[in-house]
Amino acid sequence: MTRYREQFRCVARSPYAHGFTLIELLTAITIFAIISALALGGLNAIATQQAIAKDQIQRLGALQRTVRYLTEDFAQLNPRYVRDILGQGSEPPLTADLIDGTLVRLSRGGWRNPVPVQRGTLQRVQYRIEDEVLFREYWPVMDYPLGMEPRQLELIDDVDEIRIEYLDSQSQWHAQWPPLRQQNSDSFIYPGAVRITLMLADWGEIVRIVDLL
């Protein structure tokens, strides 16, 4: 019996038999808290970068869509005159610098008909900017029916300015088309090219030239 007591005392006094001290626990908790804070900060940084990248990808997609619509509409410009909204006269195939705030209104061909439905392939399109948002609008028929509102598509926002200029036969750019000296012409005159300048709040100036000849 005495021998077992001696063995018990030896085990109890062994330096390997005691638990963690309070200082050791506090140290471990502190280290764990620091590692957790660093990991959380890194995770937040990754999430923020992913959100920024996603926004930039969406912004780039909106810009590419805008440039594609503008390029296709001008590249497929069609010399079709249309009756004006009041039905009292005709509008040229391309008219710019309008008094109602519209940037440009034009007739274009190549309107795809994948369904198909019974309609033509020509389309009357206009571009308008409102509250720093660029809109593309079109009518389902070429000659404006009285009271019919155009169908609208929002292209891109945060637009500070958009300029559309037209190149004449003397290699001069005009903000208005047709130029004043050609407005009395009996036939429609195509511009040689169209220069589109987009001023975006975040990406600055973006220029696209569409060759029409």
* CATH classification of the domain holding 126: 3.10.610.10
CB distance 159 to 198 below 8 Å: yes
57, part of any domain: no
CB distance 153 to 126 below 8 Å: no
Task: Give residue-wise pLDDT tens across range 109-155.
Answer: 988 777 777 777 899 999 999 999 999 999 888 887 666 788 999 99
Tell me which amino acid residue 3 is: R
Indicate the pTM of the whole model. Answer: 0.74
Long-range contacts of 135-140 (CB under 8 A, 24+ apart): 136/69, 136/73
Q: Average pLDDT of 55-62? A: 91
Q: Which residues of 139-154 are buried (b: 16+ CB within 10 A; e: fewer)?
A: beebebeeeeebeeee
Distance CA(74)–CA(107), nearest Å, equals: 9
12, part of any domain: no
111, part of any domain: yes
Q: Average pLDDT of 156-173? A: 93
Distance CA(133)–CA(154), nearest Å, equals: 7
60, part of any domain: no
36, part of any domain: no
Domain range enclosing 192: 76-211
- What total number of domains does the chain contain? 1
**Residue 8 — very low, low, confident or very high, per pLDDT cuts 50/70/90?**
very low
37, part of any domain: no
97, part of any domain: yes
29, part of any domain: no
**DSSP 8-state secondary structure symbol assigned to residue 145:** -
Q: How many CB atoms lie within 10 A of CB 93?
A: 22
